Amino acid sequence: MNGPPTLLDWTGNLWDGFQVTVLVTVLGALLMFALSLVLGLMSRSEHIAVRGVARVVIEFFRGTSLLIQLFWLFFALPLLGIRLDPLFAGVLALGLNYGAYGAEVVRGSINAVPGPQWEAAVALNLSRWQRMRRVIWPQAVALMIPAMNNLFIQLLKSSPLLYAITVVDLLNRGEAFRFAGGNVAAIYITLLVIYFVLAYFFTFLFGVAEIRAKARLGQHEGLGSALRQLVGSRSLEHEGARR
Amino acid sequence: MNEAIWDWGYALSTLPELLEHFAKFTLVATVLGTALGAILGLVFTLVRRARTPVLSQATTVFIEFVRSTPLLIQLFFLYYVLPDVGLTLSAMTAGVVGLGVHYACYYTEVYRAGIDAVPVGQWEASTSLHLSPARTWRRVILPQAVRNVLPSLGNYAISMFKETPFLALITVPELVHTARAIGNDTSEYLEPLTMAGLVFLVASYPTALLLRRLERRLETSPVA
């Protein structure tokens, strides 16, 4: 291959980077969800110690910057004798940082479930576990999906930072293209478009999840009706005529 | 190094340099970025409200695109692509422009929500009092909209503050860049990076608390 590479030469590399970016994002998001749940529930605990621990962890990860946490895990931790794989360190930093934000979402959503729902569950003599599992949680989930979607997109948009700790993601492949003398405008615009499409794809998935969560609560007619609305206004006209 | 993992003397010795770069780059970038974002966000909002056929839609598409793509790549774009079209920005300028434009796309949503939250009756009252559009905006709508948006603007300023380390990757010598550089020189990363994290925490946490108090006060105080 002579001369600077073209985007076509780079499709294989970009595909490899794309897979790493998606992997890191999905793993980071799974950790984020798990942590949000644990920290969110902990911060509602009756025990001041449990609540205190949750608050300190949440405020710590929200208050320091993601890049510092990333560098700390990657550069400083080895000095304490713990050496992490760059990809693992990246997933850990993303999950911890956004998990701390997610905990506030979980806590807020549970608190936002109307009081009478709690009272009704108590009146029906449900156990604490049943109350959470059967009454509160399903409603809280529907409330937290939009905010979780936002956090997920933030996480996706932060994932290129992992380039700074040598993870070979999309941005890393893009930088290799620049160093090889390729057209810089072309590669960065391509990268931006890829992230844009990814963000939209995941937002679509969260939208589906929200519809399903609401349908379970009887607040939405389900995916079928959403699709029909998308396809055209005809079904709406029918409904109007029925009314 | 083996017997003492954490060296207080070394940690403290890194502090003056860290704080200097923190003040000169991190804080300056946050303040300028916030100012640019706040002004540009207002421009976006007005352009969208004006409903000029092509311009308004183009602005909306631009905002959506910027909001859904990584700030870091936008910064790289500004820093590495613009010189090709004859516009060479210093790393710091590229960083401030990148932060400003990125956050303007969030601010414009905040403004829109803040303006929409002013009750319709206020507009109607202004019309019936025969106030000119300029007076309506300046005397009636904006004073109420400002109190709606202030807490959100503050929260975005804090998150911008925490995203200024992104500028390190386009060679701006801000706090994290400096901490890493010190680490590179001494191959002792633990202290400088930890101190840098503490500086962030000490600066951002009290500000966040103050904002929460402001938010509560604005919520509870009666509308003047």
- pLDDT score for B213: 86
Output the average pLDDT for chain B. Answer: 88
Q: Is the pLDDT of residue A182 over 90?
A: no
For residues B114 and B109, give the distance between their C-alpha atoms in angstroms, rounded to a whole number.
8
Mutation target to probe the B interface, by most B beta carbons within 10 A, among A67, A104, A172, A200 is: A67
Q: What is the pLDDT of residue B208?
A: 84
Report, as an integer, the average pLDDT of A226-239: 59
Query: Does the beta carbon of B4 lie under 8 angstroms from any beta carbon of chain A?
Result: no
Mutate to test the interface with B, among A22, A58, A62, A65 (most CBs of B within 10 A): A65
Q: Around A55, how many Cα atoms within 13 Å sit in the side-chain half-sphere?
A: 9
pLDDT score for B131: 93
CB B99 within 8 A of CB B170: no
**Contacting B residues, span 184-203, partner chain A, CB-CB under 8 Å:** 188-190, 193-194, 196-198, 200-201
Size of interface A-B (CB pairs under 8 A): 117
Give the confidence band of A239 by pLDDT, cuts at 50, 70, 90.
very low
Chain A interface, best mutation among B22, B201, B202, by max A CB count within 10 A: B201
pLDDT at residue A125 greater than cutoff 70? yes
Contact state of B194 with A72 under an 8 Å Cβ cutoff: yes
> Band of the pLDDT at B187, cuts 50, 70, 90?
confident
Q: Considering only the beta carbons, identify the residue of B72, B73, B193 that sits closest to A68.
A: B193
First to last CA, chain A: 68
pLDDT tens-digit series, residues A64-76: 889 999 999 998 8
Residue B28: CA atoms inside 13 Å, Cβ hemisphere, count?
15
Reduce the DSSP state of residue A181 to 3 states and report it. coil
Q: Which residue has the higher pLDDT, A88 or B189?
A: A88
Q: Please determine, for residue A105, whether its predicted confidence score (pLDDT) is greater than 80.
A: yes
Indicate the angle between helix axes B91-116 and B28-50, nearest 10 degrees. 50
Nearest Cα of chain B lies from the Cα of A129 at a distance, in angstroms, of 32
**Residue owning tokens 């105080």:** B221
Per-residue model confidence as pLDDT tens digits over A10-42: 999 999 999 999 999 999 999 999 999 999 999
- A180 touches B at CB < 8 Å: no
- A163 burial via Cβ count (<10 Å: 0-12, 13-18, 19+): buried
Rounded Cα distance between B71 and A192, Å, is 10
B64 vs B76: CA distance, rounded Å = 19
Query: Which residues in chain A touch residue B5, judged by CB atoms under 8 angstroms apart?
Result: 79-80
Under a CB-based contact definition with an 8 Å cutoff, are residues A162 and A74 in contact? no
B28 by Cβ neighbours in 10 Å (0-12 / 13-18 / 19+) ranks as middle
Please check whether residue A60 touches B, CB under 8 A.
yes
Query: Among A68, A163, A196, whose Cβ lies nearest the Cβ of B176?
Result: A68
From A188-202, B53-67, B136-150, the region with the lowest mean pLDDT? B136-150
Both tokens of B98, joined, read: 């990148």
Q: Model pTM?
A: 0.86
Q: Residue A64: exposed, middle, or buried by beta-carbon count in 10 A (0-12, 13-18, 19+)?
A: buried
- Among B63, B162, B50, B58, residue whose Cα is nearest residue B107: B63
For B73-102, what is each residue's pLDDT tens digit? 999 999 999 988 888 889 999 999 999 999
Confidence of residue B2 (pLDDT cuts 50, 70, 90): very low
Look up the ipTM and state it. 0.84
pLDDT above 80: residue A127: yes
Say whether pLDDT at B219 is over 90: no
- Residues A25, A208: Cα–Cα separation, whole Å: 19
What are the helix (H) ranges across B22-90?
Answer: 28-50, 53-67, 71-76
**SS3 call for B31:** helix
Average pLDDT for chain A: 89
CB A211 within 8 A of CB A224: no
* Class of residue B172 by CB neighbours under 10 A (exposed 0-12, middle 13-18, buried 19+): buried
Q: What is the DSSP letter of B15?
A: H
- Residues contacting B143, CB < 8 A, separation 6+: none
| pLDDT tier, A223 (very low <50, low <70, confident <90, very high otherwise) | confident
Residues of chain A contacting residue B105, judged by C-beta atoms under 8 Å apart: none
The answer to whether the CB atoms of A68 and B205 lie below 8 A apart is no
- Angle among Cα A163, B68, B60 to the nearest 5 degrees reads 150
Q: Would the CB atoms of B70 and A72 count as touching at under 8 Å? A: no
Please give the residue of chain A at the shortest CA–CA distance from B161.
A65
Q: How confident is the model over A45-53, as a mean pLDDT?
A: 93
Ranges A78-82, A170-174, B3-7, B151-155: which has the least confidence: B3-7
pLDDT at A241 over 90: no
In whole angstroms, what is the distance from residue B169 CA to residue B91 CA?
A: 10
* B33-49 residue pLDDT tens: 999 999 999 999 989 98
- A52: phi then psi, degrees, rounded to nearest 5: -60, -45
Residues whose CB falls within 8 Å of the CB of residue B155, separated by 6 or more in sequence, listed in order = B208, B211
**B139 interface with A at CB cutoff 8 Å:** no
Contact assessment for residue A149 and residue B51, using Cβ atoms and an 8 Å cutoff: no
Q: How far apart are CA A91 and CA A30, in angstroms?
A: 9
Average pLDDT in the B132-142 region? 91
Residue A8 is classified by DSSP as T
Question: Do residues A83 and A77 lie in contact, with contact meaning Cβ atoms separated by under 8 Å?
Answer: yes
The shortest C-alpha distance from A137 to chain B (Å) reads 27
Confidence band, pLDDT 50/70/90 cuts, at residue A192: very high
What average pLDDT does range B110-138 have in this prediction? 92
- The pLDDT of residue A1: 52
